[in-house]
Amino acid sequence: MDKSAKIEYNGKSYDFPIITGSENEEAIDINKLRAETGLITYDPGYKNTGHCISNITYLDGENGILRYRGYSVDELCEKKSFLDVVYLLIFGDLPSSDQLTKFQNDIREEALVDEDLKKIFKSFPRSAHPMGVLSSLTSALIAFNPLNETKISIHDKKGITEDDKMYMSTVRLLSKFPIISSWTLRKIKGLPLNYSNNKLSYTENIAYMMFALPNREYIQNDVITNALNTLLILHADHEQNCSTSTVRIVGSSYAGLYASISAGIGALWGRLHGGANQAVIEMLELIKNDGSDIDKYISKAKDKSDPFRLMGFGHRVYKNFDPRAKIIKKAADQVLNDLGINDPVLDIAKSIEEKALNDEYFIEKKLYPNVDFYSGIIYRALGIPTEMFTVMFALGRIPGWIAQWKEMRDSNNPIGRPRQIYNGPTHRTIS
């Protein structure tokens, strides 16, 4: 029997259908709310608002569950490569070995970056934040790969379909984004820029482009490759978070994939979102340099009059442990142990977690460590500068942004255009 919700308003009664997802989540469908009642909803930050029906990622905030196309992230981290997961998110199923080989080869085919794009890159000051550089260069990719942004004429004899265009845009971005990301790291370190080594796996190649030094043999380090594989998989998608919703709403105006992802990079940069992993390490360093007085900072975080927040804690959806934080915490211990590193900020992080999880304020507000709380400790151990941490987040999130943008485009969603309640001056004339 179809379920519905009743709204009583102005002496009239209205029924709106309830829609139910594959995991039995329910929503009131208010598509006709304004037409029938004249009302709109008011929901700052969209805390109670769904803007799409999606088949990509399922997360259950109460039970700390995260699955990509039905597979749990912990199983994917254990058994699959990041490129497997990229394919899963974008095409809906894990690839056969032939499909993966073709996908990897098509990506390798695109592993060149126009030398004029390198000139743009080199014009940025060394002090530029890499997220700003990446957002600009991703947008600049449009100019160097026009196929993605101009509609192929239906009279085009080459018969390139929209699906062909989408596939080419996908493999080009998956190929070039890691290259330009590695350039931002190498620029910070004053190293010559690197290109892809097509003999390596996708994740190994990222490590190679970031860490290989000129005139020295590059030796793969499995600890680094495995840690990167886990981190990239855990960051690959997260349903309708701030940056993914940005990618979707920009794409809903029929802006191209690269323009949409460039906007998503900007959204991810914010310290309340992907920028939190950089903010966590800066916070831990601040506490360490202030005599590791953890109680003082826990009190500051609870003090409404104090702007200090415990970065890496809290989440819009998870009101339990972020399943990614658990996996990353274990990986952090493993990486530091394998690399023989003793990082005092890890001990501070663990002490903060222990105190916060036993503090009434955090318990009552259901604030737990999120994906950003421990990830920076691993990036630091790998020798990645703090300002690069959100770039690492973006490297993982690229496939999620592509998959979500493609789903939005394929589902012919209307252009995103929220409403408002106007509360400014009523009509007045110039005196």
Applying CB under 6 A, which residues contact ligand SDX?
A: 45, 238, 241, 272-274, 276, 301, 309-317, 365, 367, 370-372
Q: Which two tokens stand for residue 379?
A: 């990036």
Instruction: Output 47 or 216, the one with its CB closest to ligand SDX.
Output: 47
Instruction: Output 110 or 237, the one with its CB closest to ligand SDX.
Output: 237
- Nearest 10 degrees: Cα torsion 321, 379, 81, 194: 160
**Count of beta carbons in the 10 Å neighbourhood of residue 349:** 24
Alpha carbon distance 78, 75 (integer Å): 5
Shortest distance (Å) from residue 125 CB to ligand SDX: 28
Residue with tokens 């080199």: 122
Shortest distance (Å) from residue 286 CB to ligand SDX: 14
Q: Which two tokens stand for residue 102?
A: 């073709």
Question: Catalytic site residue 372?
Answer: yes
Shortest distance (Å) from residue 318 CB to ligand SDX: 7
**Count of beta carbons in the 10 Å neighbourhood of residue 3:** 10
Among candidate residues 235, 237, 315, 322, the one labeled active-site is 315
Among candidate residues 156, 372, 410, 427, the one labeled active-site is 372
Instruction: Output 114 or 239, the one with its CB closest to ligand SDX.
Output: 239
* Helical axes 202-211 vs 222-234, angle rounded to 10°: 110
Answer left, alpha or beta for residue 197, where phi above 0 means left and psi between -120 and 50 means alpha.
beta
Output DSSP code: residue 7. E
Instruction: Output 40 or 272, the one with its CB closest to ligand SDX.
Output: 272
Alpha carbon distance 315, 276 (integer Å): 11
DSSP 3-state assignment of 356?
Answer: helix
Task: Look at the alpha carbons of 69, 71, 72, 76 in this order and tell me if their dihedral is positive or negative.
Answer: negative
Instruction: Output 121 or 269, the one with its CB closest to ligand SDX.
Output: 269
Q: Which two tokens stand for residue 100?
A: 């993966």
Instruction: Output 69 or 315, the one with its CB closest to ligand SDX.
Output: 315
Alpha carbon distance 311, 378 (integer Å): 16
Length of the chain: 431
Instruction: Identify the H or E element spanning 132.
Output: helix 130-144
Residue type present at position 108: R
Question: Catalytic site residue 235?
Answer: no
Shortest distance (Å) from residue 388 CB to ligand SDX: 17
Shortest distance (Å) from residue 88 CB to ligand SDX: 17
DSSP 3-state assignment of 40?
Answer: coil
Cβ atoms 181, 173 nearer than 8 A? no
Instruction: Identify the H or E element spanning 57.
Output: strand 57-60
Instruction: Output 108 or 302, the one with its CB closest to ligand SDX.
Output: 302
Shortest distance (Å) from residue 114 CB to ligand SDX: 31
Helix and strand numbers, DSSP H then E, in the chain = 18, 6
Shortest distance (Å) from residue 320 CB to ligand SDX: 13
Shortest distance (Å) from residue 242 CB to ligand SDX: 6
| CB closest to ligand SDX, residue no | 314
Output DSSP code: residue 64. T
Alpha carbon distance 250, 246 (integer Å): 6
Instruction: Identify the H or E element spanning 12.
Output: strand 12-20
Instruction: Output 141 or 310, the one with its CB closest to ligand SDX.
Output: 310
Active-site annotation, residues:
315, 372
